[in-house]
Amino acid sequence: MKIALHCQLADFVLQVQTQLASNAITVLAGPSGAGKTTLLRCLAGFLPGSGEVHFGDKTLQSATTYIAPEQRQIGYVNQQGSLFPHLTVGENLDFAIHHASAAGPTRDDIVQGFGIGHLLERVPDTLSGGEVQRVCLARSLLAHPSLLLLDEPFAALDEEAKAKTAAVLAQVVATTKTPVLMVAHEFASLTRLAERVLYLQQGKLLGDAPLSQILVAQEFPFAARADACMVVMAKVHEHDENWGLTTVSMGRHQISIPAIETAKTKPVRLRIRAGDVSLSRRQTSNSSIINSLSVTIRELRQTGERPGQVLAILDAQDFCLLARITRKSVTELNLQEGQQVYARVKASAASVV
């Protein structure tokens, strides 16, 4: 999707020019009031604006063309959720299937994945906020839209439900190759789903890059967070049932993580926090930390928020890691940019997201 939009609401101006990645989940990030929801509503056709929006070979908006929202084949799920109040949950889902633009995921798979089988005979007024969000997301996926716009779709869910729902969403999107543009305020949702990130601030697009670049870039707030992390794609190599560990491959490196049920060679998404990575000048086996990766220090970044600490950006050739260490450690180990060191990652700390 190619976007060149200008939208003015009172004294707020949204100015965005970008191209959305196809078959991927792109997350809209930025502070409150940056224009994230406004952008979604413009793309859905709910807000007027000038400029152009093209999806494939179809023009949704231009100086001479304007396609109405109901004809854009775009799914839109807002924070509150919106269901037909006179229909049961099951009937809401069936309505989406009946009006689907193409064959999509099966009703049974979606119902089971989102855990809403027990809700099928109920009407929307009897649902909790979290249940409404899950049903709305399920209905949107069953409609098999050309593009799915999500405005904080997990806001009303608890942490366990967020993780499960996000996993189902990612699986369906990968299977159907449906592009997704999602607003996420929570850092966990960003790291759990994003392949690419658009960073908005005061109506301007300040960043448009893969997640790995956004997480480390100094001009964005993520690397300065207390829970700063990197997300690395890996593949399951083998399972060690004796020790309750799974070995995963990340490019030319392998690390052990707590045992998971994912089959061999299947991809997994790992979140490795900067606070769980330590550095040493030499390779050593005399430690409880069993993962050791040869890396190069790309940057030693002083952080004003934590004057006694340094953020090390580490190049592992196929991916990057972050390590939060003390200034004292930098001095005592004589760490320097460009130096080869060993990143030690706790097996118990690397988590699948």
Q: Region 243-254: what's the mean pLDDT?
A: 95
pLDDT at position 349: 87
pLDDT tens per residue, range 118-146? 999 999 999 999 999 999 999 999 999 99
What is the residue-averaged pLDDT of the chain? 93
Q: Which domains does the chain have, with CATH numbers?
A: 2-215 (3.40.50.300), 229-352 (2.40.50.100)
pLDDT at position 326: 96
pLDDT tens per residue, range 210-234? 999 999 999 999 999 999 999 999 9
Residue 316 — very low, low, confident or very high, per pLDDT cuts 50/70/90?
A: very high
* pLDDT over 80 (residue 19): yes
pLDDT at position 227: 94
Residue 168 — very low, low, confident or very high, per pLDDT cuts 50/70/90?
A: very high
Match 């207390």 to its residue by tokens. 226
* pLDDT over 90 (residue 202): yes
Pairwise pLDDT comparison (228 vs 81), residue with the higher score: 228
* pLDDT over 80 (residue 102): no
Q: How long a stretch of residues is the chain? A: 353
pLDDT tens per residue, range 289-310? 899 999 999 999 987 777 899 9
Pairwise pLDDT comparison (284 vs 313), residue with the higher score: 313
pTM over 0.95: no
Residue 45 — very low, low, confident or very high, per pLDDT cuts 50/70/90?
A: very high
pLDDT tens per residue, range 142-160? 999 999 999 999 998 989 9
CA distance readout (Å), 160 to 77, 163, 167, 269, 329: 20, 5, 11, 17, 37
